[in-house]
């Protein structure tokens, strides 16, 4: 049975925050509105949630945080993913070098690595940490382990890293296992380094040999001179909302129907069986485009 919301948008992707904790202090972090002191779900609870999602035809799950690799039981969580469900992870990459091969063996298929600068000083300014070399080692380990494609998530910050886009393009160029995702800054954290991505997207379009449209949020993938890059623009973007297929699970056990809202969550902690299934249906009923 496929879940569809009142706007006829099917839900095919589950995004699970496994912890609110993080070992970086990024200046723009909004933590998706989560409380860093909340109690996280156990591997058994997460397994039950993923099983119900699988029964509803959801075929993809992404683990996020905070920073997922801070969980000592992360491999157990990955191993609990139901058969036939692809699993991936978004990570800051600082601890990935020592975990990549074990994550692949546990069943993880690929990773997104949050990386906003290739310059050590800029990286430290953005994250509050001098760990760029650890992240680069983590990317290499992910490539070696086959956690591909490795997608690099670059949040563009006006006056800080917007001049590094070409450096990132050079970094991924010639490697089909690396994809750059240029991401619009969200409004949640009081960070005001917004950069207009319209001009950048136009430049990509003008220099691309091929432009593909992804099903996810109907966003464009630009293929230019051996580099693949996507633009992720969630703000004031009706297409982003119209083609959204995600349902989120917060680290403290709530279904989150919309990335941009915190007032319509459905509490599923401690629920199972038919009760949990009905709460999934209720969360999907609450889904509506933030931008219409």
Give start and end residues of each alpha helix (H) in 67-212: 74-79, 100-106, 120-127, 132-145, 165-172, 198-206
Q: Which sequence spans correspond to the domains of the chain?
A: 10-285
The CATH number fitting domain 10-285, selected from 3.40.50.150, 3.40.109.10, 3.20.20.70, 3.40.50.2000:
3.20.20.70
Phi and psi at residue 45, to the nearest 5° = -65, -45
Tell me the pLDDT of the chain (292 aa) as tens digits.
789 999 999 999 999 999 999 999 999 987 665 655 678 999 999 999 999 999 999 999 999 999 999 999 999 999 999 999 999 999 999 999 999 999 999 999 999 999 999 999 999 999 999 999 999 999 999 999 999 999 999 999 988 999 999 999 999 999 999 999 999 887 655 556 666 677 888 888 888 989 988 776 678 889 988 999 998 888 878 988 999 999 999 999 999 999 999 999 999 999 999 999 999 999 999 999 999 8
- Check if the beta carbon of residue 75 is closer than 8 Å to that of residue 104: no
d(CA 154, CA 118) in angstroms, rounded, equals 10
Query: Among 158, 243, 232, 151, which residue's Cα sits nearest to residue 195?
Result: 158
d(CA 55, CA 218) in angstroms, rounded, equals 26
The two three-digit tokens of residue 192, written as one number: 């005001």
Nearest-5° Cα angle at 111, 53 to 270: 30
């Amino acid at each position: 049975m496929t879940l569809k919301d009142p706007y006829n948008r099917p839900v095919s992707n589950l995004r699970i925050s496994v912890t609110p904790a993080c070992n970086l202090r990024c200046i723009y972090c909004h933590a998706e509105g989560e409380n860093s002191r909340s109690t996280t779900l156990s591997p058994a609870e997460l397994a039950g949630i993923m099983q119900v999602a699988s029964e509803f035809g959801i075929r993809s799950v992404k683990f996020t945080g905070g920073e997922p690799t801070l969980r000592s039981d992360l491999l157990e969580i990955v191993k609990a993913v139901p058969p036939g469900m692809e699993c991936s992870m978004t990570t800051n990459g600082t601890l990935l070098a020592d975990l990549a091969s074990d994550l692949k063996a546990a069943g993880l298929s690929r990773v997104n690595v949050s990386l906003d600068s290739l310059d050590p000083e800029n990286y430290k300014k953005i994250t509050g940490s001098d760990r760029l070399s650890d992240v680069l080692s983590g990317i290499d380990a992910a490539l070696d382990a086959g956690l591909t494609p490795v997608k690099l998530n670059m949040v563009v910050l006006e006056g800080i890293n917007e001049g590094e886009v070409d450096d990132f393009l050079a970094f991924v160029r010639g490697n089909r296992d690396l994809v750059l995702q240029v991401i619009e800054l969200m409004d949640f954290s009081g960070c005001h380094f917004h950069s207009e991505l319209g001009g950048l997207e136009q430049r990509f379009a003008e220099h691309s040999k091929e432009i593909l449209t992804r099903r996810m949020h109907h966003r464009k993938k630009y293929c230019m001179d051996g580099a693949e890059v996507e633009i992720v623009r969630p703000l004031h973007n009706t297409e982003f909302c119209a083609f959204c297929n995600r349902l989120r699970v917060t680290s403290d056990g709530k279904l989150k129907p919309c990335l941009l809202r915190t007032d319509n969550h459905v509490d599923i902690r401690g629920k199972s069986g038919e009760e949990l299934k009905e709460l999934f249906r209720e969360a999907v009923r609450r889904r509506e485009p933030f931008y219409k």
